Amino acid sequence: MAESSNGSKRMSAIELARAARQAIEELGELPVESITGLEWDGDNDKWQVSVDVRELERIPNTTDVMATYVVDFDEHGALLGYRRQRRYLRGQAEGE
C-alpha cells in the first residue's frame, strides 16, 4: 500500500485489481477471465475496476455467456459494492 499526501494508506492499482478479482470470485462465485479496466471516479470519490467473468459455460466456448462487472472501492481500497454492467457472448465483438 502506498501512502497518500495526508498520511493515510491507499491501495496500488495492482492491489485494487486483486481485490476486485477476489470480491467477484468470493461474493459472486464467478470465474474471473480478466481485469479490463481501472479508473478513478472523482465525481463520486471511488475507484471502479471492470472485471470480465464467464457466467455460463457452453459448447462451443465461443457461445459462453460472459459479463462485465464493475467493482467499486473507496479511495483507501474498502469495497463499496459491485454490479453487472453488461452481458455478451464470448464470440461477440464489441458494438454488435
Q: pTM (2 decimals)?
A: 0.85
Residues whose CB is less than 8 angstroms from the CB of residue 26 and which lie 6 or more positions away in sequence, other chains included: none
Q: Are 25 and 51 in contact (CB under 8 A)?
A: no
Nearest to 87 by CA among 63, 45, 57, 55: 55
Q: Which of 53, 56, 49 is nearest to 77 (CA)?
A: 49
pLDDT by residue (tens digit) across 44-84?
999 999 999 999 999 999 999 999 999 999 999 999 999 99
Domains and CATH numbers, the chain: 2-89 (3.10.450)
For residue 67, what are the β-bridge partners? 53, 87
d(CA 71, CA 58): 26
